[in-house]
Amino acid sequence: MTERLLQDGVLAVTPVVVHLCTRCDHMTSTVAHACRACGHQGSRPLTRQMLVWDRSPGTPLLGRDDFHAHRAKQPGHLLTIAQNVPERLILSRTRDHGISLAPLGLDGLVLDPRAGVHIAVLAAARHGAERPVMTLTENAAANVAAYGAPFRRHDGTRLRYALHGRIPYDDAAALQRLCEVHRVSPAQRELFLAWFLPLCSLHLRAGITAAQLPALLKFWRRAHLDRPDTPGSDGLAELRRRIAAGDMRWVMDVTLLSRIIPDYLPTDGFIKEPEGAT
Ligand SMILES: [Zn+2]
């Protein structure tokens, strides 16, 4: 992708003055500031070849249609943040890990991971996803969206973002206790944590608080009990329409939710469709 963007003149390899930490050689940026790798204050300027994206003024970095969300939920302030990044973005970094840019003559440099993460999602999407959607928090989107702008379209595939709120997984002990108190089976707990809460976080974009967990667990148990005896296609068309429109309110509809709860957590990330569903 990077090579093609270079050939098309979207990206360029050009000499740039950057600052290197005088203690660990980590590249800080085009302006001198404390090293993000070791905290050292001192830096020295160095001119070296870098992979850059110079966009012409007025090029939109992020539009409403870059989000998989219904209109009322689109993040206006993210669009504003994206417009405030510099006109030149440097896409090569000194880092231990990443996609090596040595084939482009940039020895020791890797592609900025804020760009690379988009490529990773598109690569995963090649396994059958026609409309890939990358889930991330608003903070993460504010950090990576500008760097992803040249990388969100590839070979007719377009990558969109879906924003989700934070899930309080770090409060695992409290969650564990909660499940014990409510006599939630280990299998049900696994589905609650790894299937229901992620879906919930796409709806509760301001984040899920630890205080909300008891009510969510109660709701989840009710939906679990309401599961139909025989799986069918009732309501699936409606559900599909809502998901395609980026409308996640259905997660809080106990009837709709109960129809699609899987029996177990699939390890390959794909939920099997109920038998007979089309
Ligand atoms: Zn350093």
Closest CA to 208 of 171, 234, 236, 235: 171
Between the CA of 29 and the centroid of ligand 1 the distance, in Å, is: 12
Structure confidence at residue 231 (pLDDT): 66
Between the CA of 37 and the centroid of ligand 1 the distance, in Å, is: 5
Between the CA of 20 and the centroid of ligand 1 the distance, in Å, is: 8
Between the CA of 7 and the centroid of ligand 1 the distance, in Å, is: 34
The least confident of 44-53, 75-84, 223-232 is: 75-84
Between the CA of 198 and the centroid of ligand 1 the distance, in Å, is: 37
pLDDT tens per residue, range 126-163: 888 888 999 999 989 999 999 999 999 988 899 999 99
**Residue 45 token pair:** 């300027």
Between the CA of 53 and the centroid of ligand 1 the distance, in Å, is: 25
Confidence category of residue 71, pLDDT binned at 50, 70, 90: low
Which has the higher per-residue pLDDT, 73 or 196?
196
DSSP string, the chain: -HHHHHHTTSSEEEEEEEEEETTT--B--SS----TTT----EEEEEEEEEEEE--TT--S--GGGB-S-GGG--HHHHHHHHTS-SEEE-EE--SSS-B-GGGT-TT-EE-HHHHHHHHHHHHHTTT-SS-EEEE-HHHHHHHHHHHGGGSEETTEE-EEEE-----GGGHHHHHHHHHHTT--HHHHHHIIIIIHHHHHHH-TT---GGGHHHHHHHHHHHHHT--SS---TTHHHHHHHHHTT--GGGG-HHHHHHH--SS--TTS-PPPPTT--
Between the CA of 90 and the centroid of ligand 1 the distance, in Å, is: 19
CB 78 within 8 A of CB 138: yes
Give domain limits for the chain. 2-163, 169-260
Q: Within a 10 A sphere around the Cβ of 166, how many other Cβ atoms?
A: 16
pLDDT tens per residue, range 249-271: 999 999 889 988 888 776 655 54
Which has the higher per-residue pLDDT, 99 or 81?
99
Structure confidence at residue 27 (pLDDT): 83
Between the CA of 110 and the centroid of ligand 1 the distance, in Å, is: 17
Between the CA of 210 and the centroid of ligand 1 the distance, in Å, is: 37
What are the φ/ψ torsions at residue 240 (nearest 5 degrees)? -60, -40
CB 61 within 8 A of CB 146: yes
Between the CA of 147 and the centroid of ligand 1 the distance, in Å, is: 23
Between the CA of 36 and the centroid of ligand 1 the distance, in Å, is: 7
Query: CA-CA distances (angstroms) from residue 261 to 21, 175, 205, 223, 229?
Result: 52, 20, 21, 8, 12
Q: How far apart are CA 114 and CA 102, in angstroms?
A: 18
In this prediction the pTM is 0.82
Confidence category of residue 275, pLDDT binned at 50, 70, 90: very low
Asked whether residue 74 carries a pLDDT value surpassing 60, the answer given is yes
Q: What is the mean pLDDT of the chain?
A: 86
Structure confidence at residue 278 (pLDDT): 38
Structure confidence at residue 31 (pLDDT): 79
Asked whether residue 8 carries a pLDDT value surpassing 60, the answer given is yes
Asked whether residue 272 carries a pLDDT value surpassing 80, the answer given is no
Between the CA of 26 and the centroid of ligand 1 the distance, in Å, is: 5
The least confident of 170-184, 189-203, 237-251 is: 170-184
Overall average pLDDT of the 192-212 stretch: 91
Asked whether residue 7 carries a pLDDT value surpassing 60, the answer given is yes
Structure confidence at residue 274 (pLDDT): 45
Structure confidence at residue 11 (pLDDT): 96
What amino acid occupies position 160? R
Between the CA of 91 and the centroid of ligand 1 the distance, in Å, is: 20
Structure confidence at residue 184 (pLDDT): 87
CB 22 within 8 A of CB 39: no
Asked whether residue 25 carries a pLDDT value surpassing 90, the answer given is no
Structure confidence at residue 132 (pLDDT): 92
Angle CA 119–83–147, to nearest 5? 20
Between the CA of 106 and the centroid of ligand 1 the distance, in Å, is: 21
Between the CA of 95 and the centroid of ligand 1 the distance, in Å, is: 12
Between the CA of 19 and the centroid of ligand 1 the distance, in Å, is: 11
Confidence category of residue 91, pLDDT binned at 50, 70, 90: very high
